[in-house]
Structure 1
Amino acid sequence: MSGTELTVTLSGATAADARAVVRVLEPAFGQAKEEPPTSEDVTVHTARFEHDPADRAAEPAAGGPGHLSGAVTVTVQGAPEAVSMARESLAHAFTAQDQGSVSGDQEQEWQLLLEP
């Protein structure tokens, strides 16, 4: 099966918060395509992962608790399987509240509010 892209967008996050979220997703998705964000001047952080189910475990990562400086809104977009895995990984690591989802023919988008 060919890989698909998973896009994660964070708002209300510091650079350290964005890096914490990226680190939680890396066990399930591998390294993000770009370096983790470092600038504190950025108001929206984006990370992209290449998701190939053949290369990764079928279960979401059971990482330890993540550390955030404040509430962070996260939007995860991609293939339904990748979005579900990302959502579960984030819910295992952070206190997460579902904020809703939108589904299309080939993609799904899910928004979560992560709290410290």
Structure 2
Amino acid sequence: MSDTQLTVTLDGGGIEDARTIVRALEGVFGAPGDLPADEGATVRTATFDSPDAPRAASDPAAGGTLSTAVTVTVQGTPQAVEAAARTLSGAFTTRDDGAASGDQERERQLLLVP
């Protein structure tokens, strides 16, 4: 396990939507360091310690159902960001809203729809 983190920012939806999305990522990244908890927040964040090589998801289709569209931004190493994007695309209906790359970090934005 490296000390690199994958940061997941969730914009839109309720707390249960946020928890559903985080649960989908746990199969690849393990339990997050923090969980979205604020009932009244409109933007929520979860962070995962990102392994050097993320695990394959055991059942990527087991994401769950969202109540509304949620914009998800994932940021971390290129490998972690791509693994997160693949996992979310396998678990939910998604639209890729773009990516940005730096020297050692990547960011990708997805829209997850119910």
The normalised TM-score by structure 2 is 0.91
2:8 corresponds in structure 1 to 8
1:29 corresponds in structure 2 to 29
1:1-56 deviation line (CA, Å, top 9, x unaligned)? 7341000000012100000000000010010101x3233210100000001135x4
Matched, 1:82 2:80: yes
**Identity level (%):** 51
List runs of 5+ in structure 2 lacking aligned partners: none
Count of residues paired in the alignment: 113
Matches within 5 A, 1:1-116: 2-34=2-34, 36-53=35-52, 56-57=54-55, 59-63=56-60, 64-116=62-114
RMSD: 1.6
* Amino acid in the other structure paired with 1:44: V
CA 1:2/1:39 → structure 2, altered by over 3 Å: closer, same or farther? closer
**Corresponding residue SS for 1:100:** strand
Contact 1:60 1:88 in 2 (8 A): no
**Relative to structure 2, which stretch is displaced further, 60-69 or 81-90?**
60-69
